[in-house]
Structure 1
Amino acid sequence: MSASSNSTLDMRSIPLIALNINVRKRLGLYLNPRNTVASDWMSVAENMGFTYLEIKNYEECQNPTRKVLEDWQSRCPGATVGKLLSILDEVDRTDVVEDLGHLFEEDCRLYLERQKDPPVQVPEVTSCEIRTSECHAITLEDDPKGCKPELFDAFICYCHSDLDFVQEMIQQLEQSEYKLKLCVFERNVLPGSCVWSITGELIEKRCKRMVVVISDQYLDSDACDFQTKFALSLSPGARSKRLIPVKYKTMTKPFPSILRFLTVCDYTRPCTQSWFWVRLAKALSLP
């Protein structure tokens, strides 16, 4: 592989989430334009295993390369930086590999450095084991010495404009017979620490699942975008049913493509509202 021939990095083992948004934007500059001479994003998507109909739908996207990468990352356990580079080689886009290879390698090195402390992600989250000795005293009920971190059934990913629905969710799931424990950032998290570090700690090690409250405002939120992609990276292909999308009001914008392969809990249909909270509570109560 051209980008890593002189590198000691094994990019085949580094997940695609390692590539930051700037690198993805640059990749789109190469692949988005339809080209009769060189392969474009459609050839890349085909080699990733997307069907003809899926690829045709991506044509409506403003940045199809970005959408293809997001969906491939969320549904394919083998979506790694090394595999992406191999696909670019297979479609004869060695120019992209040569021009952006050093940026791929830089992102991979930064990703590996971040994994050293805290430890590499684990596939399961249990309620009986302390996972970290550094991100302690970050929630209201945390032990200041870090001996007993506060654990939750679910992390709630939401926008400020959707807080009223989150309040209803608290009433229906916590203050009821279900007795679930939800992590609501503005309510449970103490101020003064790095937002991104705390968010990663809570989603990966403190919460069994994550509920994503989908709305038009959610689509414009950088924080929600980060939280969703981080949770998806912990559960490729939704094997552990870790992420649960919730749609509670009518949207004017398209439903996020990165979540289309997941079963949605829909509150917008009056005929099924009576089942909504029972289904959501059951999903959050699973081991």
Structure 2
Amino acid sequence: MACADSKVDLWKIPLIALNMTVRKELGLYLNPRNTVAADWMSVAEAMGFTYLEIMNFEASRNATLAILEDWQAKGQEASVGKLISILEELERKDIVEDLLPVINKDVTRYLESLERKSEPPVQVPEVDSCLPRSQERLPITVEDHEDAPEMFDAFICYCQSDFKFVHEMIQQLEQTEHRLKLCVFDRDVLPGSCVWTITSELIERRCKRMVVVISDEYLDSDACDFQTKFALSLCPGARSKRLIPVVYKSMKKPFPSILRFLTICDYTRPCTKAWFWVRLAKALSLP
């Protein structure tokens, strides 16, 4: 099975490539219980979930989103091609026909993000004999050195409207006895670099953890969406406790289902607020 535009084998594309828009559209088709056409229960059964697991999904606000996230956590078994195959086997070709164009767009964006991550630096003609001939990677952060790249305890994923809270996070985690080192893009990354390439490099190689500052604005941010999905792809099922969601203010929109299986740090609860920074600091200090 291939992508209509680029002839990509969709069986090799992990489910994480599908963004929230496609997942919500699938829910609109599959969530209503249907005695004629296959619904989310039939899809869950075809994915290999047990009867008990399926009964637990029924308690979810959006059963389709829940099964997609749990299936995605199984790793290579969950692919875009496999999902389409399941829908076709269940005679839900109506869904495939309606959503294939947007699925292909998501797959294209996903592959482009991988290419940006792996593409070599642009080569330019030498115009000055005094230019350094070293092939060392150029610095990407303020305190980078040729022999010692700057390392961090955590990458902070945030949108601009939440920067006031990020500033408080800096004060509480860096400038106290915790002495943690945070990677804050606007403060630490040198200008002039490719955003996607540098972000991937920092999350995968320079930062032990990633803190995701969740807000209504976060849900509308393409950059935050990419960073979160990229970090999740590095630790399927959150086995390494690599990603830590933080909620610091009340939200009008639903909490992102892609993070619903992770334990969150909730700054909005008065009864636990006193322990918030200690818990977060301890989580970020783990080896």
Shorter-chain TM-score bucket reads: 0.7 to 0.9
Larger radius of gyration: 2
Distance verdict in 2 for CA 1:206–1:91, change over 3 Å: same
Q: Give yes or no for the alignment of 1:139 onto 2:178.
A: no
Q: Give the structure 1 partner of residue 223 of structure 2.
A: 223
**Aligned residue for 1:43?**
42
Q: Which residue of 2 aligns with 1:80?
A: 79
TM-score by length of 1: 0.74
What is the deviation of 1:96? 6.0
Cα distance per residue 1:185-217 (max 9 Å; x no partner): 111111122222221111111111100111222
2:16 aligns with 17
Q: Which residue of structure 1 lines up, in the alignment, with residue 124 of structure 2?
A: none
Instruction: Give the Cα separation in 2 of the matches to 1:230 and 1:176.
Output: 30
- Aligned residue pair count: 263
* C-alpha distance in structure 2 between counterparts of 1:113 and 1:262, whole Å: 25
Counterpart selection for 2:57 from 47, 54, 57: 54
| Structure 1 position 249, deviation (Å) | 1.9
Distance 2:265 2:201 in 1: 26
Structure 1 position 284, deviation (Å): 0.5
Q: In the superposition, relative to structure 1, how do residues 116 and 225 fare at CA in structure 2: closer, same or farther (>3 Å)?
A: closer
Q: Does 1:259 align with 2:259?
A: yes
**SS of 2:213's equivalent?**
strand
Contact (CA 8 Å) 2:214, 2:246: kept in 1 or not? yes
The answer to whether the Cα contact below 8 Å between 1:214 and 1:248 also exists between their aligned partners in 2 is yes
Tell me: CA distance 1:256–1:21, structure 2 relative to 1, closer, same or farther (3 Å). Answer: closer
The two structures have a TM-score, normalised by structure 2, of 0.74
CA distance in 2, matches of 1:267, 1:189: 27
Distance 1:216 1:11, change over 3 A: closer
**Residue aligning to 1:117:** 118
Give the letter aligned to residue 204 of structure 2.
Answer: E
Residue in 2 that maps onto 1:124 = none
The answer (yes or no) to whether the contact 2:13–2:107 under 8 Å persists in 1 is: no
**Contact preservation (8 Å) 1:3, 1:105:** no
After TM superposition, give the deviation of residue 148 of structure 1 in Å. 2.8
Question: CA-atom RMSD, angstroms?
Answer: 3.8
Could you say what secondary structure the match of 1:178 adopts? coil
- Secondary structure class of the residue paired with 1:219: helix
Q: Give yes or no for contact 1:27–1:65 (8 Å, CA) kept in 2.
A: no
Q: Deviations over 1:220-246 (max 9, x none)?
A: 222212211111111111000000011
Quote the sequence identity (%). 64
| Partner residue, 1:152 | 152
Q: Distance in 1 between matches of 2:218 and 2:117?
A: 31
Task: Find the aligned partners of 1:80 and 1:270 in 2 and give their Cα distance.
Answer: 41
Tell me which amino acid in the other structure corresponds to 1:222. Answer: D
User: 2:125 corresponds to which residue?
Assistant: none
Q: Aligned partners of 1:156 and 1:109: how far apart in 2?
A: 22
Q: Which runs of 5+ in 2 are unaligned?
A: 121-134
Which whole-Å CA distance do the structure 2 matches of 1:248 and 1:162 have between them?
9
Match of 1:249, SS state, is coil
Q: Secondary structure at the match of 2:271?
A: helix
Matched residue, 2:205: 205
- Gap change, CA 1:39 and 1:136, over 3 Å in 2: farther
Shift of 1:42: 4.7
